[in-house]
Structure 1
Amino acid sequence: MSPFDFLPVLAQHGPAVEGAGSWPLLIFYLCLAIGFSFLCSVAEAVLLSVTPSYIAQLRDREARGAETLTRLKKNVDRPLAAILSLNTIAHTFGAAGVGAEAAAIFGDAYVAAISAILTLMILVLSEIIPKTIGATYWRALAPTMGTFVSWLIWAMYPLVLLSDGLAKLISPQGTHGVVTREEIAAMATLGAQSGNLEKSESRIFANLLRFRELTVADVMTPRTVVIAFPQDLTAEELFERNPEIPVSRLPIYKDKLDEVTGFVHRNDLLLARARGEGGKRLSEFRRDLTTVRDEATLTELSDLLLGGGSHIAAVTDRFGGLDGVVTLEDLIETLLGLEIVDEHDAAPDMQKLARRKWEQRAKRLGIVLPDDAPARAAAAPGKPTVEDSSARQSSPEDSLAEDALVEP
């Protein structure tokens, strides 16, 4: 209820003498009530509209008001208490003054009508309009309103302390300003709907937030389709038995696949063969192979691969046996929601099949796919986007040497 609803009561505190009031005083009290309430409403709307990301941008630019806004948003109860205190005081004193002057000027018979008019004025002029302005132009008004609210907290400090004490009794600590992962995902979706974000950007946000839920086992290439070779095999023997190797990085093992010793890069073998060094064994081209547990999250996997500058890792189970391999390509596919098809994939039909199979797995894992995913699966493949760096068999038609067959 507005303080102006009490104008009839205030007008009865003394005998009203019609025409004895002062128009300047009436206007002064009216401007006092509406003016301060207008400022308070704008400040409240701006304060509640300012986002943590905007404040972070101001801090990065060392812009004016950044530290003030940070302090105000950190404990939003204090500025709100100061704003509402001034708003209430302005309404109360303004109502008292307007009520007394209106009764003196117009007489008691018109007080009810004046009360209704002033209540409507304060609703429109000090609530609806200023809060709309604050919510719409909060970016431009934030630094100025931050300074205003800081001074207001100082002026209303006793009331702010009282409000602080009551707030601590009612509201538990640590519950203000917490943005959840679900809210971030929702904001990304809203950003795409409003046009501020591309659909692909929104999809990447949503998939990135699932990285700590998905495990390496969800995206790895299982050992049953891993292309691996004995380390005692020579480079020449490898290419004689497998003239077209569909992958770039090839795990090598000692006696059995569970004894993986590292990996070799196809380009190193081709270069050695061109130099007449095809008789060298694969172990002489060995590079260290990072290992990761199958239960590790994709967040941990990305830290491992990117932090160590690795493109491929061997996935082990809890007993230390090889479960499969995982690559940066698998991470990128999960992040983008797209299957990356390489130029070495055997045939267009197999590429379409690979896309369909990947999309089925992505939907099962909850990975967000582009709207045209079915069309992508049906269409002929275009120019490859990323070089294939995985040690997986792209097609069951690929020719592999007996030594390269993986144990079941």
Structure 2
Amino acid sequence: MNEVPAGALFGALVVLILLSGFFSGSETGLMTLNRYRLRHLARHGHRGARLAQALLRRPDRLIGLILLGNNFVNILASSVATVLALRLLGEAGIAVAAGLLTLVILILAEVAPKTLAALHPERVAFPAAYVYTPLLRLLYPLVWLVNTLANGVLRLLGVDPAAASAEGMSREELRTVLHEAASMFPGARGRMLLGILDLERVTVEDIMIPRTEIVGLDLEDTETPLAERLRAIPYTRIPLYRGSIDEVTGILHVRDAMRLLLDGGEITPEALAALARPPLFIPEHTPLNRQLLQFQGTRERVGLVVDEYGEILGLVSMEDLLEEIVGEFTTDPLGSIPEAHPQEDGSWVVEGGASVRELNRGLGLHLPTDGPKTLNGLVLEHLEQIPEPGTSILIAGYPVEILQTQDNMVKTARIYPRRRRRE
């Protein structure tokens, strides 16, 4: 190198530093590419994405190629810098050249290009893929040798380099993606997608109409004519029972009863029982995603939730299930949250039987849903006794004042939706 002009050596040093930056930045860019977006672009014919995807199928070969190039240019740059230092400053310049070269490589060939690649991986990775694809073919024997030795070391450590790391995205990771990409999904669509993800961890117990609130038709009740009671029922499908809801005989579609009247028939218990379909019984801990499939398979729209002893706990309908996904879309004849009554001071007077999930969704609260399903159950769980009227407690940061109790339950309570800071 003594015959090479200093200017040429300096130019070569600059080129080597730039190449080092290219190798460092392209490595970061390729490794930080969004794999799902990469598949999408490759599927739609983006050539750079296809080349990058092919390279990333064997990351060991890609990394071996990049490191070969990066280490080669860094070592060569160090040699050129040493020659320049000896010419210009003598032996004392070696230390100066080492220090300056380290600083320059750190800034221009490591931090800056890697930061750029991390911020804009596609702008760096796709052009680099055009370079690495033919370079890998050219240097394949050397890359293969290096990878074979490196993979041998990995196998000694119990790592199988050939194992494909095609890990799917978990539910929680997908939720995070949806939250971060909220600007791409309007509010309603985002909530629907999150609702679908939550179906598996929500059970029929969480959305069912409690046993005490089931609207049905008692065939043994003779005080009011059946036709009048049918006319007053605001639902299209109702359970028929004899004396008690535990003695359910079937599910009646009110439309069938109206058709019977139009055909000149008489509304009698026997006639209604003949029109009713056998009830669908649902185990209490059934996840909503499984129940949705059951509704689809049986073509039923209403089911009765039962416990391990066969006692009826509540009723769940297809509409209730779908509302967990899309939100309120039906017109509830009793109001969206009939158990909650707004007050002038901003609080809500809520009946004890109100569903915790409905209160959270309708009032924007964040009461715990992993325990009792009603406000009454939530209060009793926190106090571990039947409270007296006037008792105040704090549940999940919300002040709750007991207004009325009846027998062994909370009849009404006042909730302040706005959280108050704890003193």
TM over 0.5: yes
Residue 114 of structure 1 aligns with which residue?
97
Q: 1:20 to 1:110 in 2, by over 3 A?
A: farther
Q: Aligned letter for 2:257?
A: L
Change (3 A) 1:291 1:66: farther
| Corresponding position of 2:358 | 358
Q: Which residue of 1 aligns with 2:401?
A: none
Given the superposition, is the C-alpha separation of residues 29 and 257 from structure 1 closer, same or farther in structure 2, using an over 3 Å criterion?
Answer: same
Counterpart of 1:4 in structure 2 is none
CA distance in structure 2 between the partners assigned to 1:182 and 1:74 by the alignment:
26
1:30 to 14, 25, 46: 14
Partner of 2:149: 162
Seen in structure 2, the aligned counterparts of structure 1 residues 363 and 145 have a Cα distance that, compared at 3 Å, is farther
CA deviation after TM superposition for structure 1 residue 310, in Å: 4.0
Counterpart-to-counterpart distance in 1, 2:205 and 2:84 = 79
Are the equivalent residues in 1 in contact too, given 2:203–2:288 (CA < 8 A)?
Answer: yes
Looking at structure 1, the residues matched to 127 and 323 of structure 2 have their Cα atoms a distance apart, in angstroms, of 46
Change (3 A) 1:343 1:186: closer
Q: 1:222-261 to 2 correspondence within 5 Å?
A: 222-229=210-217, 237-253=225-241, 257-258=245-246, 260=248
Structure 1 residue 69: Cα displacement: 4.3
For 2:359, the aligned partner's letter is: E
Pick one of 22, 29, 34 that aligns with 1:51.
34
User: Which aligned pairs between 1:27-176 and structure 2 lie closer than 5 A?
Assistant: 27-31=11-15, 33-64=16-47, 68-73=51-56, 76-154=59-137, 155=139, 156-170=143-157, 172=159, 176=165
1:215 paired residue number: 203
Unaligned runs of 5+ in 1: 1-15, 368-395, 397-408
2:369 and 2:356 mapped to 1: Cα distance? 14
* 2-structure distance, mates of 1:278, 1:55: 67
After superposition, the C-alpha distances for 1:311-359 in whole angstroms (9 at most, x for unaligned) are 32232333444332212333334345x5667341169864645587722
CA separation in 2, counterparts of 1:204 and 1:347?
Answer: 19
Match for residue 184 of structure 1?
174
Change in Cα spacing, 1:141 to 1:21, as seen in structure 2 (3 Å) is closer
Instruction: Pick closer, same or farther for the CA change 1:309–1:181 going to 2, 3 Å.
Output: same
1:58, CA displacement in angstroms? 2.8
Q: Report if aligned partners of 1:269, 1:278 keep a CA contact under 8 Å in 2.
A: no
Query: Identity percentage over the alignment?
Result: 24
Deviation at 1:275, TM superposition (A): 4.9
Amino acid at match of 1:45: T
3-state SS, counterpart of residue 23 of structure 2: helix
Distance 1:68 1:288 in 2: 60
Structure-2 change in CA distance of 1:191 and 1:363 (3 Å): farther
Give the drift of 1:26.
3.2
Task: Please give the alpha-carbon distance, in whole angstroms, between the structure 1 residues aligned to 2:112 and 2:17.
Answer: 11
Q: Which amino acid aligns with 1:122?
A: I
SS in 2 for 1:100: helix
Secondary structure in 1 aligned to 2:12? helix
1:54: Cα distance to partner? Answer: 0.8
Q: Structure 2: how far apart are the matches of 1:66 and 1:231?
A: 68
Q: After superposition, where does 1:199-348 map in structure 2 within 5 Å?
A: 203-229=191-217, 237-253=225-241, 257-258=245-246, 260=248, 262-277=250-265, 279=267, 281-287=271-277, 289-306=279-296, 308-335=298-325, 342-345=331-334
Between Structure 1 and Structure 2, which shows a larger proportion of strand residues?
A: 2
Residue identity in the other structure for 1:37: S
What is the CA–CA distance in structure 1 between the aligned matches of 2:285 and 2:233, rounded to whole Å? 30
RMSD: 4.1
Structure 1 or 2: larger helix share?
Answer: 1
Give the AA of the match of 2:12: F
Q: Which moved more, 1:79-88 or 1:102-111?
A: 102-111
- Cα deviation for residue 153 of structure 1 reads 4.7
- 2:383 corresponds in structure 1 to none
Whether the 8 Å contact between 2:51 and 2:130 is mirrored in structure 1 is yes
Residue 75 (structure 1) shift: 5.1
Count of residues in correspondence between the two structures = 347
Per-residue displacement from partner, 1:275-320 (whole Å, max 9, x unpaired)?
5445472244434654432222122122323455543223233344
- SS where residue 202 of structure 2 aligns? coil
Once residues 85 and 76 of structure 1 are traced to their aligned partners in structure 2, the CA distance between those partners, rounded to angstroms, is 14
